[in-house]
Amino acid sequence: MTRPLADPMAARDHARAMAGTVVEAMPLLPPVADDLPAGVPAQDLLWEETIAAGGYATRRLPRGSRLRLIDLQGDACASVLIFNAEMPAERLNVADTVKIQWNAYLGAGKLLLSDMGRVLMSILEDEAGTHDAFCGTSNAAINHAKYGEGRNSGAFPNGRDRLLLGAAKHGLQRRDVHPCVNLFKGTRIEADGTITPLVGPYDAGRAMVLRAEMDVIVVIANCPHVLDPREEWTVTPLRVSAWRGALTPADDPVRNATPEGLRAFLNVEDYFRR
């Protein structure tokens, strides 16, 4: 039997016939969204993408931009890395994010801090309230032990390798895949030190909005939380939108909420004063 795709010209024709095909999990180019906040013009949209279950995405975002994440079906897990886009050696430091804010539970008004004492992103809105700054993400060995498969190309991809794929698009390597935060899937630390996973599933459509306080590289993996107790590998799509926005003003309530946070913002402003 003839295989048409064995013919290079047939393969070309097949590929061209796919032009215009739209599936749920893909970036939209140019980005288009019909639900931007009031006052945000369509031309300011920078990124519109749905990340499939087990997928990943990455984008460089300018200072002041807003990043909106939506848990479309209530079972997404956004494992997030953030880098200073100008100098990626500076990156999210989860330990400092927890320590400097005297709070391990992320939510509206909280900051995502770098290892150089600066704010990379701040959380402006949060409808979820279930996030995790303790556990990091899964790796191939963990997934293999739990699901019988953990390879990047397998049926049950792991978060660490997905983050590696995203980081590699910016010239970064495995050593640059540092501890991440998990958004939409949470944990609670009990009095005896036990970590209780809070993984849902939850109501569909929970959203959060972050603001970039520096030019940043954001890498997102959408894989099951590493402590998800379910036997089945379970995660659902995650929608990502980003648009240009104003820089944080001097009287911003998030900027001025705590002395420690204000110092981190001042460190950012000093960085951009160069």
DSSP letter for each residue of the chain: ---GGGSHHHHHHHHHHTTT---SSSB-SS---S-PPTT--GGGEEEEEEEPTT-EEEEEE-TT-EEEEEESSS---EEEEEEESS-TTSBB-HHHHHHHTT--S--TT-EEEBTTS-EEEEEEEES---EESSS----HHHHHHHHS---TTSSS--HHHHHHHHHHTTT--GGG----EEES-EEEE-TTSPEEEE-----TTEEEEEEESS-EEEEEEE---TT---SS-----EEEEEE--PPPPTT-TTTTSSHHHHHHHHHHHHHTT-
Q: Would 21 be classed as within a structural domain?
A: no
Q: Would 7 be classed as within a structural domain?
A: no
Total domain count, the chain: 1
Q: What is the pLDDT of residue 16?
A: 82
Question: What CA–CA distance (Å, rounded) separates 133 from 155?
Answer: 27
Which domain does 123 fall in, by range?
Answer: 40-246+253-271
> In tens digits, what is the pLDDT along the chain, a chain of 274 residues?
555 557 788 778 777 887 767 677 778 888 999 999 999 999 999 999 999 999 999 999 999 999 999 999 999 999 999 999 999 999 999 999 999 999 999 999 999 999 999 999 999 999 999 999 999 999 999 999 999 988 888 899 999 999 999 999 999 999 999 999 999 999 999 999 999 999 999 999 999 999 999 999 999 999 999 999 999 999 999 999 999 999 999 999 999 999 999 999 999 999 999 7
Q: Would 18 be classed as within a structural domain?
A: no
Q: What is the pLDDT of residue 229?
A: 96
Residue 58 and residue 217 in contact, taking contact as beta carbons nearer than 8 Å: yes
Q: What is the pLDDT of residue 108?
A: 98
Q: Would 4 be classed as within a structural domain?
A: no
Q: What is the pTM of this model?
A: 0.93
Tokens of 178: 């540092």
Q: What is the pLDDT of residue 234?
A: 97
Q: Would 87 be classed as within a structural domain?
A: yes
Q: Would 92 be classed as within a structural domain?
A: yes
- Residue 26, CA distances (Å) to 22, 112, 240, 267 in order: 8, 27, 10, 36
Q: Would 157 be classed as within a structural domain?
A: yes
Which residues make Cβ contacts (< 8 Å) with residue 155, sequence separation at least 6? 147, 149, 233
Which residues make Cβ contacts (< 8 Å) with residue 261, sequence separation at least 6? 100, 101, 111, 119, 254, 255
Q: What is the pLDDT of residue 24?
A: 74
Q: Would 6 be classed as within a structural domain?
A: no
